[in-house]
């Protein structure tokens, strides 16, 4: 998967599950940082995909903070290095798509169960 494919997949999953288009954001501090963000229906939580071209890292992050509102920070649900144009992660268990599904569920969207893949019997 490339960075552009990850951003397209995040957008597609957001539209499919949350029924909303995520917002493209520009970092005022770092123009080499690309962000695509989606807020929960209540607006008190968020999920965002961040690509830092200088660092060569892409992260899927979920907001955290006090229950009465406000974002105290962001936690990684998925992280990958970008080698040439491809995402490279050390996790053999967490895929990009599963992390996006999990993040959308954590911020309050209903994610339909996907059929389990079974290997040969």
In a domain, 99, yes or no: yes
Residue-wise pLDDT for 86-110, tens only, equals: 999 988 889 999 999 999 999 989 9
CA distances (Å), 25 to each of 30, 74, 86, 87, 120, in order? 11, 16, 22, 21, 44
- Per the structure, how many domains does the chain have? 1
In a domain, 12, yes or no: yes
Domain hosting residue 43, numbered range: 3-106
In a domain, 28, yes or no: yes
In a domain, 119, yes or no: no
Weakest mean pLDDT among 39-53, 57-71, 105-119:
105-119
In a domain, 113, yes or no: no
In a domain, 50, yes or no: yes
In a domain, 22, yes or no: yes
Burial class (CB in 10 A: 0-12, 13-18, 19+), 111: middle
Phi, psi of 85 (to 5 degrees): -120, -5
Residue 117 has pLDDT above 60, yes or no: no
In a domain, 17, yes or no: yes
């Amino acid at each position: 998967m490339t960075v552009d494919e990850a951003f397209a997949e995040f957008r597609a999953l957001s539209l499919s599950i949350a029924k909303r288009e995520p917002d493209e954001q520009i970092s005022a501090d770092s123009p080499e940082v690309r962000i695509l963000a989606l807020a929960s229906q209540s607006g008190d939580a968020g999920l965002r995909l961040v690509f830092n071209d200088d660092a060569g890292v892409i992260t899927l992050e979920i907001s955290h903070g006090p229950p009465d509102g406000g974002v105290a920070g962001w936690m990684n649900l998925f992280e990958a290095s970008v080698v040439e144009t491809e995402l490279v992660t050390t996790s053999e268990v967490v895929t990009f798509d599963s992390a996006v599904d999990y993040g959308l569920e954590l911020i309050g969207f209903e994610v339909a169960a996907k059929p389990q893949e079974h290997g040969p019997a």
